[in-house]
């Protein structure tokens, strides 16, 4: 019989380190008393939430092994407060750092999916700048959408869409992942430019494993190769999945993800 574990209800953290206070939802599974391996932190994607298939499976996996696991929703996502259209990369980075610093102890493995991959790398830079590199044991990045607001959005937009964003402050982008369009705001694009990483050396000060589908329509697999080139100072493994899509949520994809986490520590 398959072992089952109770679902953890959401708790809330009031963060006030970046402008107005934010009420952030999270679920934290504590480590078993005797467990000494690093905890795991899930950083989700753009307009995703902590109840995604991959996050749920990591939670089950962590429970079976007595590992600590933290997952949360950024401002304007899932069960957290705030409006999605008011969010920016800088704000969601601040959410992530608040969660890591206030709710975890010791080294952590960051598991970043899509936008969460970009935010994981930004979090590593912020932790290094505050002499906290020991807080990261490793990273597993799933289709990391580094600099996506600029290279994967703005650079691909027509002059008409760019003009609409600049003139009105927002463009409603149709999504294959949700019935309603996603607001792409001028604030998101402009703040994204303050957080660009490509074009300079990127340091995480920990091992990194990237999982990338070669049939990904949102983050081209060559984008992952570019990221690897920028991570010259850290140990990096790249797994290209020939028939993999953007989400990498099939059973075989999730098995690769869990193996990558376990292989770090």
The answer to the question of residue 247 being in a domain is: yes
96 has catalytic annotation: no
Assign residue 118 the CATH number of its domain: 3.40.50.1820
246 has catalytic annotation: yes
pTM of the prediction? 0.95
Which structural domain, as residue segments, surrounds residue 125? 11-146+203-264
Which one of 147, 216, 234, 253 is the catalytic residue?
216
Q: pLDDT at residue 175 above 80?
A: no
The answer to the question of residue 183 being in a domain is: no
pLDDT tens, position by position, 230-256: 999 999 999 999 999 999 999 999 999
Which one of 48, 113, 114, 120 is the catalytic residue?
114
Which one of 59, 77, 246, 253 is the catalytic residue?
246
The answer to the question of residue 256 being in a domain is: yes
49 has catalytic annotation: no
For range 81-107, the mean pLDDT:
96
Q: pLDDT at residue 45 above 90?
A: yes
Q: How many domains does the chain have?
A: 1
The answer to the question of residue 260 being in a domain is: yes
For the chain, percent of residues with pLDDT exceeding 90: 89
The answer to the question of residue 233 being in a domain is: yes
The answer to the question of residue 68 being in a domain is: yes
Give the tokens for residue 7.
């679902």
């Amino acid at each position: 019989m398959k072992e089952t574990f109770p679902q953890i209800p959401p708790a809330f953290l009031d963060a006030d380190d970046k402008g107005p206070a934010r009420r952030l939802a999270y679920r934290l599974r504590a480590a078993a008393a005797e467990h000494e391996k690093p905890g795991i932190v899930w950083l989700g994607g753009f307009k995703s939430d902590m109840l995604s298939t991959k996050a749920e499976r990591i939670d089950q996996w962590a429970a079976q092994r007595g590992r600590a696991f933290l997952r949360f929703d950024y401002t304007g996502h899932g069960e957290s407060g705030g409006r999605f259209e008011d969010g920016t990369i800088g704000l969601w980075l601040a959410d992530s750092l608040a969660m890591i610093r206030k709710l975890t102890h010791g080294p952590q493995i960051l598991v970043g999916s899509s936008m969460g991959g970009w935010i994981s790398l930004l979090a590593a830079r912020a932790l290094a700048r505050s002499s906290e590199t020991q807080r990261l044991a490793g990273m597993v990045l799933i289709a990391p959408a580094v600099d996506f607001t600029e290279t994967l959005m703005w650079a691909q937009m027509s002059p008409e869409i760019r003009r609409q964003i600049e003139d009105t402050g927002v463009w409603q982008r149709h999504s294959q992942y949700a019935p309603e369009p996603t607001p792409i705001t001028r604030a998101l694009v402009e703040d994204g430019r303050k957080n660009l990483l490509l074009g300079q050396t990127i340091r995480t000060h920990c091992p990194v494993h990237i999982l990338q589908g070669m049939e990904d329509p949102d983050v081209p697999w060559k984008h992952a190769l570019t990221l690897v080139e920028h991570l010259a100072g850290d140990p990096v493994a790249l797994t290209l999945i020939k028939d993999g899509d953007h989400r990498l949520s099939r059973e075989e994809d999730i098995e690769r993800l869990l193996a990558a986490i376990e292989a770090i520590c």
